[in-house]
């Protein structure tokens, strides 16, 4: 199967001059990406907000999957977040996420795979070629961002685990620790947070395991140290601070689907023709812009992913 890719773009064409110069400095000084150094690094905050990172990631390659659209500023990307584990207000994660300890970190792999076990972050990153992918990201409430993620295809890690033939879905779980994540002391959702993908969605080359953004290690409020990025789906599918992956034959139920199944379906594909029960999805507002824009089918990634849903009623399978 041949999947057409978006045109590559030089960072200097879309990134402001200061950030571009910093990125070039990172590359000039790089002697390669050191996995152990990243996995154990002490982050140096760039601001007083509790969860901000600052540790640069070196040796990152550009990606042909990147959009040419203008980037959302770093301060907006890292201060306007949905991460209920740290509070329901969009400002809360940046203020409260300093309690999270993203090092050391282990991901448990279970279910229908040949290689289950406990994988340290260093093991997951070992030998990975990290890419910067500039993706459109769409939230179900009607706002959107353009974010330069740093990570590697989830499918690369799944292949290493050797899923069984009956593994049709992958379920992910977020850390459950009310001391580190004080929002979990409230029954806003059923904890731990759970999400899932169909296997072909998980293996699609657009699906990313992200470890950074804007050339730096993920800040806590953005899902440190490991999160999912699926750019053609609404934001609640991008589960953060992943500690468990389970390979299943039956479709898992995500936390939002359990909470409000009539509003949040398993697929969560960006579809302007299928309105949320409480608001339309036909238009969106990019963070930092006043005027709304038309919502694109599959968030603008239809050419790459529409074939995954051929023959499906996307208003029924929402």
104 within domain boundaries: yes
pLDDT given at position 219: 97
316 within domain boundaries: no
165 within domain boundaries: yes
pLDDT given at position 53: 56
pLDDT given at position 61: 95
5 within domain boundaries: no
304 within domain boundaries: yes
- Domain with 251 in it: 11-309
How many beta carbons lie within 10 A of that of residue 167, not counting itself? 19
pLDDT given at position 40: 38
Q: What is the dihedral of CA 253, 255, 256, 262, to 10 degrees?
A: 40
Task: Report the alpha-carbon distance of residue 295 to residue 301 in Å, rounded.
Answer: 12
Q: For the domain that residue 221 is a member of, what is the CATH number? A: 3.90.420.10
pLDDT one digit per residue (tens) for the chain, 318 residues:
333 443 333 333 344 434 433 443 443 333 333 344 444 333 333 433 445 457 999 999 999 999 999 999 999 999 999 999 999 999 999 999 999 999 999 999 999 999 999 999 999 999 899 999 999 999 999 999 999 999 999 999 999 999 999 999 999 999 999 999 999 999 999 999 999 999 999 999 999 999 999 999 999 999 999 999 999 999 999 999 999 999 999 999 999 999 999 999 999 999 999 888 898 999 999 999 999 999 999 999 999 999 999 999 999 999
pLDDT given at position 192: 98
pTM as predicted: 0.85
CB 80 within 8 A of CB 222: no
37 within domain boundaries: yes
Provide the token pair at 218.
């993920």
Please state, in angstroms and as integers, the Cα–Cα distance from residue 169 to each residue in 152, 172, 232, 246, 280, following that order.
20, 10, 18, 8, 29
Terminal Cα-to-Cα distance of the chain (whole angstroms): 25
Closest by Cα among 181, 182, 133 to 154: 133
pLDDT given at position 54: 75
Task: Report the alpha-carbon distance of residue 268 to residue 272 in Å, rounded.
Answer: 12
1 within domain boundaries: no
* Number of domains comprising the chain: 1
User: In b/e form, how buried is each residue of 244-256, taking b as 16+ CB within 10 angstroms?
Assistant: bbbbbeeebbbbb
174 within domain boundaries: yes
């Amino acid at each position: 199967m041949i999947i057409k890719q978006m045109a590559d773009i030089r960072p200097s064409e879309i990134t402001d001059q200061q950030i571009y110069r910093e990125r070039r400095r990172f590359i000039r000084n790089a002697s390669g990406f050191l996995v152990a150094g990243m996995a154990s690094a002490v982050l140096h905050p760039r601001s007083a907000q509790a969860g901000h990172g600052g540790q640069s990631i070196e040796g990152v390659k550009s990606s042909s999957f990147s959009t040419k659209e203008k980037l959302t500023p770093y301060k907006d990307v890292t201060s306007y977040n949905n991460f209920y584990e740290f509070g329901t207000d969009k400002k809360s994660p940046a203020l409260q996420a300093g309690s999270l300890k993203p090092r050391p970190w282990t991901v448990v792999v279970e279910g229908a795979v040949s290689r289950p076990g406990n994988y340290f972050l260093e093991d997951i990153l070992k030998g990975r070629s990290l890419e910067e992918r500039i993706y459109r990201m769409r939230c179900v409430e009607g706002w959107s961002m353009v974010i330069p993620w740093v990570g590697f295809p989830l499918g690369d890690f799944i292949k290493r685990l050797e899923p069984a033939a009956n593994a049709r879905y992958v379920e992910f779980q977020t850390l459950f620790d009310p001391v580190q994540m004080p929002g979990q002391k409230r029954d806003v959702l059923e904890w731990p947070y759970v999400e899932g993908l169909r296997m072909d969605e998980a293996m699609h080359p657009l699906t990313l395991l992200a470890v950074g953004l804007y050339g730096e290690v993920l800040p806590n409020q953005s899902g440190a140290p490991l999160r999912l990025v699926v750019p053609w789906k609404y934001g609640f599918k991008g589960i953060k601070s992943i500690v468990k992956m389970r390979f299943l034959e039956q479709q898992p139920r995500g936390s939002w689907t359990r909470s409000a199944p009539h509003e949040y379906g398993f697929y969560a594909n960006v579809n302007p023709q299928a309105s949320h029960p409480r608001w339309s999805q036909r238009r969106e507002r990019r963070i930092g812009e006043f005027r709304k824009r038309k919502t694109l089918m599959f968030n603008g990634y239809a050419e790459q992913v529409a074939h995954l849903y051929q023959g499906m009623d996307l208003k029924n399978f929402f």
